[in-house]
Chain A
């Protein structure tokens, strides 16, 4: 299995509080992604990174920011959490290859009350 960890694995927080989720990889892959998974929507891309300090928005980026200061870490921040951000968040990594295969972390379940 690809070496991807996410922390925390579960979090309950209140509306209006800041939240940071961490994705850590040991594969030295260039690309990293944050998705959210919601019933009826599958997985939707929030932000992605194509290198240290290089990030871009996905399709559902409003209310989220990211940072990547090291190859191995990709942080997702909710500046002021809202109940609509209650979801399961997955990190993924990939590297240059013919197939563009992504490897996924175990997920973080976030509940915003």
Chain B
């Protein structure tokens, strides 16, 4: 079946450090891939997405590339800020057409000033 594996947190970084959060997936077919962010006490917001192999999603300095050969969609940011502290979720959409998502378990990021 479809699944998403995300690196365990929490991840603690100093401001301006480089961020990588790993995400790998298994799926039959060709899912779309997503990163969502959840700030404390809020719902999930779409951070970026990619719909096919080699697509790069980007937003607010975050980037992720859809790598079919390694079944990965790692999230990166060159210089994190305190305001990036949140929980990040990797997700795929069911390629069978039901639009259902499979989520990773989430990675908590804490950025220290």
Contact = CB atoms under 8 A, between A and B. Distances in A.
Nearest to A90: B43
Contact-size category for B: 20 to 34
Interface stretch (A11-19, A74-82, A104-112): A104-112
Interface string A72-113: 000000000000000000101010001111111111000000
Interface residues of A, number: 26
A77 to B, nearest CB: 20
Interface of B: 6, 32, 34, 36, 42-46, 49, 51, 89, 93, 98-101, 103-106
Nearest to A109: B41
Find the residue from A45, A100, A104 having the highest chain B CB count within 10 A. A100
Contacts of A58: 100
A60 interface: no
B89 A31 contact: no
Contacts of A50: 98-99
Contacts, number: 55
A104 B34 CA distance: 13
Contacts of B32: 98-100
Give the dominant DSSP class at A's interface: strand
Interface of A: 31, 33, 35, 40-45, 48, 50, 56, 58, 90, 92, 94, 98-107
Given A31-B99, A43-B101, A105-B43, 8 more contacts: A35-B103, A42-B89, A43-B44, A43-B89, A45-B100, A45-B101, A100-B93, A102-B99
A104 B43 contact: yes
B103 A42 contact: yes
A104 B45 contact: yes
Contacts of A103: 46
Find the residue from B32, B46, B100 having the highest chain A CB count within 10 A. B100
A43 B102 CA distance: 8
Given A40-B105, A98-B51, A99-B51, A107 B100 contact: no
Find the residue from B6, B89, B106 having the highest chain A CB count within 10 A. B106
